[in-house]
Amino acid sequence: MNVRKFCITKLVWMTLLLCVLFSSIGTISASAAELEKVDKPCFIINGTEKVYEGEDYYNEETGEYFYWGKGRGVDKTFSFKIRYSVESSGFTVNGKSVVVDASAHVTYDNDIVNYGSFEYHVYLNGLYSRKLVFNIEGTQTGTISGLKNGGTYRVMISTGSVLPDNYYLDGEGTITS
């Protein structure tokens, strides 16, 4: 009786072990497309949506978008329409400073509106965060220095708080080392 109970117990444990082993093999394997996306730079829209470099993002519900331009290397060219923020994955800078050019305006139902002296922020986040404050009046240019040559940084554009319904920060920009 004890031998039979021992054999049944071992059989149950071996079956469970095999189930765990096969289920973990299924989760470990990933398609080539998934692996490729892991290595590609991306932007995060409003803290949740990921947009990979070379891809466009458009949210039909909110009207928000993010489109990549044709930048190469550390140069980033992009256009956006957001209610709160957009943040990139890390990219390497080839110098101790970058120049940021950006222009944006506030829209309501796709029409440009006078939103007063509205400011938005462009951050360069690494070990420390550095911020430029831009107005919605024309193209603004700023330099962020004190960077580590060859360091990895992320750029974030933020309105500072979520804009009211149907209001958006609509703009474009470049980051050049």
Structural domain spans, the chain: 2-30, 33-176
When pLDDT is averaged across residues 18-23 and rounded to a whole number, the result is 55
pLDDT of the residue at 106: 94
Residue whose entry in the numeric block shows the structure tokens 């394997």:
29
pTM of the model: 0.68
Residue 168's pLDDT is: 93
The per-residue pLDDT for range 101-113, each reduced to its tens digit, is 999 999 998 899 9
Chain centroid to CA 19: how far? 37
Q: Look at 28 and 3; give whichever has higher pLDDT.
A: 3
CB count in 10 Å sphere of residue 119: 12
What ranges make up the beta strands (E) of the chain?
42-45, 49-52, 57-58, 65-68, 76-82, 85-88, 91-92, 97-108, 111-112, 119-125, 129-135, 139-145, 152-158, 167-176
Other beta carbons within 10 angstroms of residue 11's beta carbon come to 10
Q: Which residues pair with 86 in a beta bridge?
A: 45, 157
pLDDT at residue 10 is higher than 70: no
Instruction: Answer whether residue 69 shows pLDDT above 80.
Output: no
Model pLDDT for residues 118-170, shown as the tens digit of each residue: 999 999 988 888 999 999 988 999 999 999 998 888 888 899 888 998 899 99
Q: What is the mean pLDDT of residues 19-23?
A: 55
Check residues 156 and 3 and name the one with the higher pLDDT: 156
pLDDT of residue 29: 47
Compute the mean pLDDT over every residue in the chain, rounded to the nearest whole number: 78
**Cα–Cα nearest to 63, from 111, 115, 103:** 111
Asked if pLDDT for residue 100 goes beyond 50, the answer is: yes
Cβ-count burial 58-97 (b if 16+ within 10 Å, e if not): eeeeebbbbebeeeeeebbbbbbbbbbbbbbbebebeeee
CATH number of 33-176: 2.60.120.380
